[in-house]
Structure 1
Amino acid sequence: MVIVRDITETKLFLDLLQQQERQLKAILNNIPGSAWLKDNESRYIAVNEPLLKLFNKKLEEVVGKTDYDLFPPDLAQKCIDDDREVLATGKRKYFEEFSVNPDGSEIWFETIKTPIHNENNEIIGTTGIAYDITERKRIERDTFNALKKERELSELKSRFVTMTSHEFRTPLATILSSAELLEYYSHKWSEDKKLSHIHKIQSAVNHMTSLLNDVLLIGKAEAGKLEFNPQSLDIIQFCSSLVEELQISTTEHQIIFQAQYQNLIVYLDEKLLRHILTNLLSNAIKYSPQGGVVRFDLICQKDELVFVIQDEGIGIPKLDQEQLFNSFHRASNVGVISGTGLGLAIVKKSVDLHGGQITVDSEVNRGTTFTVTLPLNS
């Protein structure tokens, strides 16, 4: 007995399904981004070629799987949570997300997830499209950094103008005043009085020269042109001589220098070290009360030299300590005490060139301790 069945409708239905599948695949693969369809259990039911390339997977390794099978737990949970939100609210969701490629490089996506409805308007799954916006993010980051740098430069210029106008005014006034007095009254004055005003002019010129040298030095440091030239140096003799120089300049403060050894040969950059210690000791003197004691300890431990400079001065507020080594920054409690705000910036650059570290411990009205640690044979 032979049974003959007409399967024309079945064949037409299967052909239609295959045609729709091809159309869906063509649509997905022509979307300019990674695209997928998921059911209401967040299982992938269709994906396009860009997504397979991104996953570095074959089609059969993705379809039927969930994000838990493809991603680390934290990322998978986030993807599932986003799906559940779309399924629960029935609303489209836009967001940006960050990931890391297998090679460790950053990748950013702008993702859109949309609910899928059947003919009865019931939500049966989600569809998603993720666009690679890594280049856009890079441009945004570069633009932000450029604007930040421009603002910092503008602020730096403003601080520089404020500093120069303030710090140069006094010595310029001294020079002008003494020069005018010499011009009009020198014929009536004794030689000692003339010399006194000449010394005032010389002192003012030296002060301005020092200010300009600091500005030029920090400029070289910022441009990466500050050179590091370590040489053999008897550090104990160097520090002792420096303390003697500074002690001569002040009769109202006492500098107490202590070291473990009488002689110690090291390899350091003498010029940079002079900048470090002169600025720290000068600040300790300047911001301490009359009769104050400045303690300077030199400690040799393992392969490091440790310079500890402690004063009994006005201290540095906590908020200012965060910006202490920025060019032209001065603490909020310095009052009328003169200064450029460059000294500690120069110190930090000089310490960095040695491969060392500098820390500060300070309390307002109690004093400040700077600790500089330099590798012995840097």
Structure 2
Amino acid sequence: MLYGNNLYKKEYDKELQRFEALFNFASIGILVTNRQGEIVLINDFALEQFGYQREELIGQTIERLLPMRFRPKHEEYRDGFSSQPQSRPMGIGMDLFALKKDGTEFSVEVSLSQYQHEEGSFVISYINNITERKKAEEKLEKMHNELEQKIAERTQQLTHALEQLELSKQEVMIALNKEKELSELKSRFVSMASHEFRTPLSTILSSAFLVNQYINTEDQPKRSKHIQRIISSVTLLTEVLNDFLSVGKIEEGGVTVRSNTFDIQLHTTAIIQEMQDLVQEGQKIEYEHKGPSKVKLDPSLIKHILLNLLGNAIKFSGKHAVIRVNTLQKGHIIKLEVSDSGIGISEEDQQHLFERFFRGTNVSNIQGTGLGLHIVSKYAELMNGKITCKSELNKGTTFTVTFLQS
């Protein structure tokens, strides 16, 4: 029995030596932390990467190896990983940085995995220094940019040469330019139609076919239903086209602010009345104004802003929902606010809300161009204003447009 135990211990020691060799002589940094983020094991390669002696790091938290600006946030990430651990492979597109003992920062890739032991829960980190690769990528990007610059310069030279040739070949160039413009227009239209027009056009086609089938008097409710579907689809197509036209005008500087003194309370009431035909079943729009009602803004742009915000509130709220509109004038400040209790917007999506063509991750099944809020923000800026958003998923959204009157 003693012989068996000795043989077992000998084999165990061999396996332990193999593990230690694999751990210490690996050509990648490896360290192990406990649930508190304290380093309990670190291999020689990692020590060389960071410039520490082993006794300087054992017992220290992993944040010791991070630049100061990342440490507070990393503690939150670490706690989140500990509560919901999952393996994270190398090269997932995150820009990560580590800190050497001498204060030098370097780019790294990190792979994480967790294991349970009788002594507790531990995380294994595999750390790869990718500084040289980053330098190579930056060099490649620089070369790419230089190449693009050269292409741009050559294109400009070619354009200049074509302009010179226009003196002798004016008719040919005019025809060529028209053909080019037509080709670009066709390309944009096909792209837009494939994304935004397909569903409403299909609805119009199918509804028109069905209306034609209902020839009896008793079929009138069915006819009315499909006629309404046609009207809704045409309205959607009109909105899409208007959005594209508005963005074009804004980018070309073709939008002129025409400020007039008008009653914002009466103006808002009239706009809300126009939207009544679009509300869903049981939806209700409540409006309140505070302060003087005479303002000096562009009533046309105000109408476009309110129509867009109300349209979104109606579209993203459920049936029987209450949508609230508030206007306020206090001193030089004018505020326009639209609130709903709809699906809401995530914090991450709110960071990009007013960018062109951006749509929230939770609205993929609801049609839209992703241009409306971008246009609203630009119209607000033209009138010396700004738009802000407060929202919580599944609890609703409030958009506030604030103007500063001169």
Q: TM-score, normalised by structure 2?
A: 0.50
Q: What corresponds to 2:9 in structure 1?
A: none
- Aligned equivalent of 2:249: 220
Matches within 5 A, 1:6-85: none
Within the candidate set 199, 203, 207, 1:174 is matched to 203
Q: Matched residues in 2 for 1:158 and 1:349: separation? A: 26
Listed as ranges, the matches of 1:228-267 within 5 Å are: 228-250=257-279, 251-261=281-291, 264-267=293-296
SS at 1:336 equivalent: coil
Cα RMSD of the aligned pairs, angstroms, is: 3.3
2:397 aligned residue: 368
Task: Determine the C-alpha separation between the residues in 1 that align with 2:396 and 2:248.
Answer: 30
- Of structures 1 and 2, the one with the larger relative CO (CA 8 A, separation 6+) is 1
Structure 1 letter corresponding to 2:288: Q
- Deviation of 1:163 after TM superposition, in Å, equals 6.0
Distance in 2 separating the partners of 1:159 and 1:329: 18
Residue of structure 1 equivalent to 2:323: 294
1:12 aligned residue: none
The residue type equivalent to 2:269 in the other structure is: S
Identity score, percent: 43
Listed as ranges, the gaps of 5+ residues in structure 1 are: 1-135, 147-156
Please tell me the residue identity of whatever aligns with 1:310: S
One-letter amino acid of the structure 2 residue matched with residue 340 of structure 1:
T
2: CA distance, partners of 1:341 / 1:372: 19
1:119-198 map, 5 Å? 143=149, 164-182=193-211, 185=213, 187=215, 192=220, 194=223, 197-198=226-227
Alpha-carbon distance in structure 2 between the residues aligned to 1:345 and 1:223: 15
Aligned to 1:341: 370
What is the match of residue 157 of structure 2?
A: none
Contact between 2:317 and 2:341, CA under 8 Å: does it hold in 1? yes
Q: Could you tell me which residue of structure 1 aligns to residue 3 of structure 2?
A: none
Query: Alpha-carbon deviation of 1:272?
Result: 0.9
Give distance in 2, aligned partners of 1:158 and 1:291.
Answer: 42
- 1:277 matched residue in structure 2: 306
Letter in 2 for 1:220: K
Note closer, same or farther for the CA distance 1:190–1:164 as it changes in structure 2 (3 Å cut). same
Deviates most, 342-351 or 242-251: 242-251
CA contact (8 A) 2:388 2:400 kept: yes
Residues 272-331 of structure 1: CA distance to partner in whole angstroms, max 9, x if unpaired? 111111111221222123222222111112112011222212211122112111111100
Partner letter of residue 273 of structure 2?
E
For residue 388 of structure 2, give the secondary structure of its aligned residue in structure 1: strand
Post-superposition Cα deviations, 1:235-274, rounded to whole Å, max 9, x if no partner, equal 110111122222342243222211114x622221122111
Greater helix proportion: 2
Q: 1:366 to 1:159 in 2, by over 3 A?
A: farther
Matches within 5 A, 1:106-125: none
Matches of 1:271 and 1:246 in 2, distance apart? 16
Question: How far off is 1:205 after superposition?
Answer: 2.3
TM-score, structure 1 as length reference: 0.53
How big is the shift at 1:195? Answer: 5.6
Cα distance change on mapping 1:161 and 1:296 into 2, 3 Å: farther
Amino acid at match of 2:314: I
